[in-house]
Amino acid sequence: MTGLTDLLRTRRSGGRVTDAAPTDAEIAELLRFAMNAPDHGALRPWRLVLLRGVARERLGEALADAQGATGDDRQRAAAKPLRAPLLIGIVLCPTPHPKVLEWEQLAAATAVVTHLCLLLHEAGWSSIWRTGPLLDARPVCTVTGLADGEKLLGWLYVGGPDPRAARPERPPANAQAHLSVLGFAAAGSMVPW
């Protein structure tokens, strides 16, 4: 298998990570390569926000505020961003464009994050893309520094791979179940799927 095939075969979302994390410079270097992802119009309609230390605590408080949580529920909500030493906020920054619709810009943002996840895996880091019902909540948007028109797509939780959370390889998926071929027979009649 090629290196890329092996990366795609072995990458898993890492729900549990260690306290080790890549530096800002390492993330910037990986992002430089991730930016080769498909992006119609080269709009780069996204930005990433790195959260470490106190910034994660502030995000936790914003999540608890947005949830209206109290007591133990508040503590649980506030602790969620502390599950990884580095969170990378994924922000969609759509730009009005006559040829590149917003859904394509969302696809470009998703593609760069997918590439970044693969590059993190290749570099020996573990990551998981987390979302939730509070992405649009005002306290969360405020602490993340969202501008008007921007949309938070979630966070990559990044850290060292936790050996206790090692997951076995997935069994091969049935690609044929998700693949069809459109063809045409002689005289222009369509061949059934």
Q: For the segment 66-83, what is each residue's pLDDT rounded down to a tens digit?
A: 999 899 999 999 999 999
Average pLDDT on 126-141 reads: 95
Distance (Å, rounded) from C-alpha 92 to C-alpha 102? 10
How do 190-191 and 86-92 pair as beta strands?
unpaired
Domains and CATH numbers, the chain: 24-160 (3.40.109.10)
Distance (Å, rounded) from C-alpha 166 to C-alpha 8? 16
pLDDT(1) > 50: no
- What is this structure's pTM? 0.88
pLDDT of residue 188: 54
* Two tokens, residue 104: 């394509």
- Other beta carbons less than 10 A from residue 137's beta carbon: 18
pLDDT of residue 189: 55
178, 74 Cβ separation under 8 angstroms: no
| pLDDT tens track for 142-182 | 999 999 999 999 999 999 988 887 777 778 788 888 888 88
| pLDDT tens track for 105-119 | 999 999 999 999 999
- DSSP output for 144-193: HTPPTT-EEEEEEEEEEE-GGG--PPPPPP-GGGG----EE-GGGPEEP-
pLDDT of residue 41: 93
User: Any idea which residue has 């917003």 for tokens?
Assistant: 102
